[in-house]
Amino acid sequence: MAEAKKREKSSAKDGAKSAAKGSAESGTGDAPNAKGKTTAAESVEGEEHVFQADMQQLLHIIVHSLYSEREIFIRELISNAADALNRVRFLMLTDSNVRDAKQELEITLDIDTDNKAITIHDTGIGMTRDELVSSLGTIARSGTLDFVKRLSATEPGQRMEMIGQFGVGFYSVFMVSARVVVDTCPADPDQAPTRWVSDGGGSYSLLSSDKKQRGTSVRIELRDDSEEFAKGFRIEEVVKRYSSFIPHPIRMDGRQLNTLDAIWSLPKDQVTSERYAEFYKFIAHQMEDPLHTIHLTIDAPVQYSALLFIPKHLTNEMLYSRTGFGLKLYANKVFIQDDCQELLPIHMRFLRGVVDSEDLPLNVSREMVQQNQLLTRIRKSLTGRVLRELKSLSEDNPEKYTTFWAEYGKVLKEGITSDEANKQRLLELARYNSSIGENAEDMTTLNDYVSRMREGQKEILYYSGPSREAIERNPNLEYFRRQGLEVLYFYDQVDDFVMAQLREFDGKPFARIDQADLDALKEGDAIESEHEALEDDAMAKLMEYVKERLGERITAVVPSKRLVDSPAVLVSPDGDSVNLEKMMRLLNEKFSPSAKILEINPNHPLVSNLSRMLQSGGDDPLLGEITEQLFENCLLVEGMLEKPEKMVARIQTLMERAAALQVQTLPSSS
Ligand code: ADP
Ligand code: MG
């Protein structure tokens, strides 16, 4: 109640987000000087700001539903402190005018057992008053709001994993605190220190601060239910769990809690798999072990060491996001940059890890990183090494490789068309399902397919669809199944693009089995059928009728060699993929797929019956209706039927006719 009142009061005074932000410049009585800089003397005591609405929502969730994961607030605050230390170290490389330039870069934890409070100090970059408002007063990170929405929709038991992946950030502190006081003194000697105070309700206050030393101190006044964190051993336990690899000393009571080991620079045999996993969890914010670890120490043609991890699962972020990926870059153990995208091609964006090079100049700026020749050379070497590692994995541990490919195959395949230099190696890593497999998980390589090709078989046959079931339902497959010709099954949308560009592998052209002019059909024997084939003459008349009836919707009607159990199928005159066209339609509503060739099975009873109907005058409207239905069935199988409503009405008519015929044969009811 009291809180709601306070919020109302401050809303009236301050307005929402924009006002809170605006007050940093124009102020509510806190006039900045001409340069837009505020000094301590000008600050007004207890100036209150409301949190923006999104953030109130976030705070609510944090305080009320993340109870069991409370300890991660320590990880979040330490990671912020470490970021601030990295940033000031970076600043000092290029700017000589930094406050307390001689100060050691460190994190210190103070426990005030009597008052049940903890303080986390850092000697990092600090925040100006404006930065404080924008960093701790708004959801600065664009992903956060998205995170909030997803978190509220997640089962409590699975939340920990989500938090692990995203990090809740600074606000996690309100899981444990009654009140938080942030004192911060910016690296810029012209900027004054500021104090930020909040109880995690609807608002925060800005005050002047007497902090003299560069950096930030976050004082957490614990709630009664979180007293456990006012004990040294508990804090130490949490720091060890999450923050062992923070590259700055973390001290408590004069003791250093973390080890600072740059494990990527150690020889492989000195690092246990537990330590690799621990490091991975720390840098990738993951709860589970990695799927695979790659540790490299390379001396030529460039010197670098790399410690890379393949996570267990491909997330949507990895699949769709073309930003926010990349490795951590170090120059001789000094941190340079997060998410360095210059180190790997985009189709390896699922890798997490660290690259460290002694050859990289320390004072390299972020802009220079982008143009650095050395990085281009590291990238080339590293890409090759990763491919080599994947190849060995596929040979030494095929089972694990299959798991890997199932998760990341669709990302790696992007490289087949975009990374000309490594095309061949990527193709050799590719695995596909095929008609000889037992199920959708049974994979083969292109090389193995080629080695199984029949005597005289010229084409690598493939077909694509959303699933094995969908592909195997397609009448196009009947002939190849009967003849025992192997067909590769493609399920990823990217496959059709890749094949269209590749055209061939090992000198053998790729051919979609719904292509009209398949070599395999020309060469292959005709299939024996239980039904007698329609006479050529009658067949010609029927095809003429069907073409006239369907008009422009098809380019031609031809007798089929590939059908066994189905009466008709659509094939592409030029081998253009149906999937490709479906995708074009998704991208462009006006895109109309090119007309197809209709193949008719002369051995099918329906076809011979239609021919008889035609011969006996052809004036029964049923003949036309069945022809339409035959065509639309083909469209439906291909997923190309646009107006299913019309089809329902037609089926209704056909059902009425069938039922009426059936009734005629029944004994009359008495
Ligand atoms: P993130 O760390 O992902 O950016 P946080 O919620 O943890 O998100 O922190 C928000 C921002 O607040 C940081 O990006 C940083 O600008 C600022 N910040 C937080 N803690 C500190 C600190 N100890 N020193 C300097 N700036 C900090
Ligand atoms: Mg953070």
Q: How many CA atoms lie less than 13 Å away from 127 in the CB half-sphere?
A: 24
Q: In the numeric block, which tokens belong to residue 235?
A: 């804090």
Q: Could you give the CA distance from residue 230 to residue 60 in angstroms, rounded to a whole number?
A: 24
CA-nearest residue, atom 19 of ligand 1: 80
Return the pLDDT at 138.
Answer: 65
173 plus 294 within the same structural domain: no
Rounded to the nearest whole angstrom, what is the distance from the C-alpha of residue 152 to the centroid of ligand 1? 23
For residue 619, is it within any domain?
A: no
- CATH number assigned to the domain comprising residue 290: 3.30.230.80
Question: Is residue 216 within 8 Å of 81, Cβ to Cβ?
Answer: yes
Among all bound ligands, the one having the nearest atom to the CA of 166 is 1
CA-nearest residue, atom 7 of ligand 1: 169
295 plus 167 within the same structural domain: no
Picking from 199, 225, 256, the residue at the C-terminal end of a domain is: 256
317 plus 355 within the same structural domain: yes
101 plus 136 within the same structural domain: yes
Q: In the numeric block, which tokens belong to residue 351?
A: 């890798």
Residue in the structure block whose two tokens are 């700017």: 95
For residue 343, is it within any domain?
A: yes
The type of residue at 288 is E
Return the pLDDT at 469.
Answer: 93
CA-nearest residue, atom 21 of ligand 1: 80
CA-nearest residue, atom 5 of ligand 1: 169
Does residue 431 sit in helix, strand or coil?
A: coil
What atom in ligand 1 is closest to the CA of residue 171? 6
Please choose from 76, 80, 175 the residue to mutate so as to test ligand 1's pocket, defined by most ligand atoms within 8 A of CB. 80
Q: Could you give the CA distance from residue 477 to residue 305 in angstroms, rounded to a whole number?
A: 50
121 plus 234 within the same structural domain: yes
321 plus 245 within the same structural domain: no
Q: With a cut of 70, list the residues of the chain below it in pLDDT.
A: 1-45, 64-68, 138-152, 154-168, 260, 324, 334, 361-371, 523-527, 574-591, 669-670
Return the pLDDT at 525.
Answer: 64
Rounded to the nearest whole angstrom, what is the distance from the C-alpha of residue 82 to the centroid of ligand 2? 9
Please choose from 73, 77, 86, 135 the residue to mutate so as to test ligand 1's pocket, defined by most ligand atoms within 8 A of CB. 135
For residue 84, is it within any domain?
A: yes
**pTM recorded for the entire structure:** 0.63
Rounded to the nearest whole angstrom, what is the distance from the C-alpha of residue 195 to the centroid of ligand 1? 15
Return the pLDDT at 346.
Answer: 93
For residue 82, is it within any domain?
A: yes
For residue 431, is it within any domain?
A: no
Picking from 222, 256, 290, the residue at the C-terminal end of a domain is: 256
What atom in ligand 1 is closest to the CA of residue 87? 25
Please choose from 108, 170, 191, 195 the residue to mutate so as to test ligand 1's pocket, defined by most ligand atoms within 8 A of CB. 170
Residue 240 CA from chain centroid, whole number: 30
251 plus 368 within the same structural domain: no
Question: Is residue 552 within 8 Å of 592, Cβ to Cβ?
Answer: no
List pLDDT tens digits, range 559-600: 988 888 899 999 887 655 565 666 666 666 666 777 889 999
Q: In the numeric block, which tokens belong to residue 7?
A: 């919020």
For residue 585, is it within any domain?
A: no
Picking from 197, 221, 256, the residue at the C-terminal end of a domain is: 256
Rounded to the nearest whole angstrom, what is the distance from the C-alpha of residue 77 to the centroid of ligand 2? 7
293 plus 246 within the same structural domain: no
Return the pLDDT at 22.
Answer: 35
Q: Could you give the CA distance from residue 575 to residue 461 in angstroms, rounded to a whole number?
A: 12
Q: What are phi and psi of 103, to 5 degrees?
A: -60, 135
377 plus 243 within the same structural domain: no
CA-nearest residue, atom 16 of ligand 1: 135
For residue 241, is it within any domain?
A: yes
- CATH number assigned to the domain comprising residue 231: 3.30.565.10
Question: Is residue 333 within 8 Å of 264, Cβ to Cβ?
Answer: no
Rounded to the nearest whole angstrom, what is the distance from the C-alpha of residue 639 to the centroid of ligand 2? 47
**CA distances for 68 relative to 76, 157, 169, 250, 486, angstroms:** 16, 10, 17, 25, 54
Domain residues for 277?
Answer: 263-387
Q: Could you give the CA distance from residue 628 to residue 610 in angstroms, rounded to a whole number?
A: 12
Return the pLDDT at 2.
Answer: 40
What atom in ligand 1 is closest to the CA of residue 80? 20
For residue 353, is it within any domain?
A: yes
What atom in ligand 1 is closest to the CA of residue 120? 23
Q: In the numeric block, which tokens belong to residue 284?
A: 């990738």
Ligand 1 environment, Cβ below 6 A: 76, 80-81, 83-84, 122, 124-127, 135-136, 140-141, 167, 169-170, 216
The type of residue at 485 is L
List pLDDT tens digits, range 118-151: 999 999 999 999 999 888 876 545 455 666 666 6
Please choose from 74, 78, 83 the residue to mutate so as to test ligand 1's pocket, defined by most ligand atoms within 8 A of CB. 83
Residue 438 CA from chain centroid, whole number: 29
CA-nearest residue, atom 13 of ligand 1: 135
Total count of domains within the chain: 2
251 plus 341 within the same structural domain: no
75 plus 174 within the same structural domain: yes
288 plus 240 within the same structural domain: no
